Amino acid sequence: MWTRDSAPPSPGEPLPMTARATLVLAPNANAWTFEGTNTWLLAEPGDAQCAVVDPGPDDDAHLAAILAAAGDRAITAVLVTHAHSDHAELAPRLAEVTGAALRAAHPRLTAEPLQDDDEIRVGALTVRVLYTPGHTGDSVCFRLPAENSVLTGDTVLGGGSPIVKPGRLGQFFDSLDRLSEVLAAPGSTILPGHGPALPDPLAQIERRRQARLRRIDQVVGALAAGIDDREALVDHLYPDLHPDLRDAARVSVDAVLAHVRTDPDPLPTRGEPRR
Ligand SMILES: [Zn+2]
| Domain residue ranges of the chain, discontinuous segments joined by + | 15-200
Note the pLDDT of residue 264: 52
pLDDT for the residue numbered 165: 86
- Bridge-based pairing state of the strands 189-192 and 74-79: unpaired
CA–CA distance, 36 with 15 (Å, rounded to integer): 14
Instruction: Tell me, in angstroms, the distance from the centre of ligand 1 to residue 135's CA.
Output: 7
Helices (H), the chain: 60-70, 85-88, 91-98, 169-182, 201-224, 230-237, 246-262
* pLDDT of amino acid 269: 44
Secondary structure percentages of the chain, helix, strand, coil, to 5: 30, 20, 50
- Over the chain (275 residues), what is each successive 10-residue block's mean pLDDT? 94 97 96 92 98 98 98 98 97 98 96 96 98 96 97 95 89 96 94 97 96 92 91 93 90 89 55 40
Q: What is the per-residue pLDDT for 265?
A: 52
In the reported structure, the alpha carbon of residue 210 is separated from the centroid of ligand 1 by a whole-number distance in angstroms of: 21
48 C-alpha to ligand 1 centroid (Å): 30
Sign of the CA dihedral 146, 155, 82, 52?
negative
Q: 14 CA to middle of ligand 1, Å?
A: 22
> How many A from CA of 65 to the centre of ligand 1?
22
The CATH number assigned to the domain with range 15-200 reads: 3.60.15.10
CA-to-CA dists, residue 259 to 171, 213, 264, angstroms: 11, 11, 9
Instruction: Determine the distance separating the centroid of ligand 1 and the alpha carbon of 195, expressed in angstroms.
Output: 13
- Tell me if 91 sits within 8 A of 108, measured CB to CB: no
Determine the distance separating the centroid of ligand 1 and the alpha carbon of 86, expressed in angstroms: 7
From ligand 1's centre to the CA of 194, what distance in Å?
A: 9
pTM value is 0.91
Which residues pair with residue 246 across a beta bridge?
A: none
In angstroms, what is the span from residue 98 Cα to ligand 1's centroid? 24
* Predicted pLDDT at 268: 47
